[in-house]
Amino acid sequence: MLKPPAGQFGGALPRSPVLARRTTVSTRSVDGLRAHPKQRTTITRRKITKALREIRKKRLAINHHAVANYAGVARTSVYNRTDLLDQIRAQSTKPSITSAVPAAASESTIVTALREQLHAQKQRYQTEIAELKAEVKTLEQALAAAHRELAWHCS
């Protein structure tokens, strides 16, 4: 069997002064380690709640995927908080606020002006069509009179 050369890995490894001291864990460190997951949970819950509130204000589509993306958390984080998931589901099934607002109140001025122009043009076309129908009727009557006159002369 081969032995390593003397001086390399021979004997005991030198110990650093940090490793040589016995490390003790303070109660403060342990408390901090225990508190960290709780803080993360609280922060995630706040992010989801805030995202749901902001999505509702912006009147965007509300579902678990949209809330998770908006909050910047994983979808499983939303699924693991069943109370928040129930809130999201309740919000997604509610009718949107925009459907309760009349169409005229939510339209822009451009759309309103175009709608009025379209209505005026429709009225003009209906008037013109009525005049043309009246003219066709008089022409048909004149034609019928001409046919009767020809029939009377031919007989």
**In this predicted model, what pLDDT tens digit does every residue of 63-109 receive, in sequence order?**
888 899 999 999 898 888 888 888 888 888 555 555 444 555 567 88
* Whether the Cβ atoms of residue 76 and residue 64 lie closer than 8 Å to each other: no
Tell me the two tokens of residue 65. Answer: 């995927």
Q: What is the mean pLDDT of residues 36-54?
A: 90
Helix pair angle (82-93, 64-71), 10° resolution: 120
> pLDDT tens digit string along 119-146?
999 999 999 999 999 999 999 999 999 9
Fill in the DSSP letter of residue 96. Answer: P
What confidence tier does 9 reach under pLDDT thresholds 50, 70, 90? low
Distance, CA of 93 to chain centre? 14
Q: If you write DSSP's letter for every residue of 99-126 in order, what string do you get?
A: GTS-HHHHS-HHHHHHHHHHHHHHHHHH
For residue 22, is pLDDT > 50?
yes
Q: From CA 111, how far away is CA 98, in angstroms rounded?
A: 17
Q: How many angstroms separate the Cα of 30 from the Cα of each of 22, 27, 33, 38?
A: 17, 5, 5, 14
Q: Which residues of 42-73 are buried (b: 16+ CB within 10 A; e: fewer)?
A: eebbebbeebbeebeeeeeebebebbbebbeb
Q: Which residues, 6+ apart, have CB-to-CB distance to 47 below 8 Å?
A: 71, 72, 73
Cα–Cα separations (whole angstroms), residue 89 to 77, 84, 85, 92: 15, 9, 6, 5
